[in-house]
Each structure stands twice: as C-alpha cells, then as structure tokens.
Amino acid sequence: MTQLELVRALREEMGKGQSISQSYLSQIENGSRPHMTQSSRALLAKFFKVHPGFLVDDPEGYHAELTSDLRTTEGRLDVWLLQGSERFASDVEVSNVLIKAAREKDTRRAFLLLGAILETPGLADRLLDALRPELAAAGSHHRGGNGEGRRAR
C-alpha cells in the first residue's frame, strides 16, 4: 500500500476528521520524524487493527525469544512500563521516566533499588534534594515543609 493509498483508505474508513497527511507518513517512513504522536499511533493502530505498541520500536536490548523466567519478568515489566507511559502521556515527566525505566538493561534490579530507597527513611527526600532540587522544593509545600509527609510502608 502506498502512502497515498493509505491516506485515502484512512479517510474512507475513519472519516475526514481523523486522517494523516501523506507528508507525515513520508516523514515517519524516511526517519525524519522518529516518533509518532499519540493520536497518530492510535489512529494507525485502529486502522490496521493492531495494538499501538506494535507501531513503535522495541526498547534497546529487547529480545523476542525468552531466555529465562527472569527475562520473562523483565519483558512483562517493560511492556507494563511502556503501556503506563502512554497512559500518562499528559504528564511528560512521568511518561519519560516510565520509558527510561523500560529501557533500563535490568528493569527488575532498578525496581528493587527503588524499593530499597523508599524503605530507607529519609533517603528518597535526600536523593531528591541532591538530584532534583526544584522538585524537592515544590514537594516540601505538599509535605508541610518538614519533609515528613510520606508514610512509611
């Protein structure tokens, strides 16, 4: 199917209000536009009757074959994180962090590290102060300014 044929078929099946231009398709195909918008990906996925994730590249290091039970866990975590990044697309920072976590070589280990950080009293706040002071300052307003607003689990 040519780009022009796809544009025509999209307009016929989805309606004029839900279409993509031939130039946009060309940019995707030739790599000058490496990422599609959420709405374009959803439209193409609906048209081709595939999951939207099918239309994006796999994260670096992804392997289709299962090498172990641990790799199965990694794959499920990565898929879950990528799906979450799409759900939180309106919160760009959260969406980007979820994508970074999915692309991490050892996702499981990264989550175990996050768990250890959160279990250590005060460590998350100290790390946030050091790594993202602008977020730490904004968060102190939500915690009443004393950094003790988080509940230990």
103: which 2 tokens?
A: 């692309």
19: which 2 tokens?
A: 């279409």
What stretches of 15-143 show up as alpha helix (H) in DSSP?
22-30, 38-48, 69-87, 92-103, 107-119, 123-131, 133-142
pLDDT tier at 150, thresholds 50, 70, 90: very low
Q: What is the pLDDT of residues 75-105, one digit of tens each?
A: 788 888 888 888 888 999 998 899 888 888 8
Q: What is the pLDDT of residues 34-60, one digit of tens each?
A: 788 888 888 888 888 888 877 877 666
pTM, two decimal places:
0.46
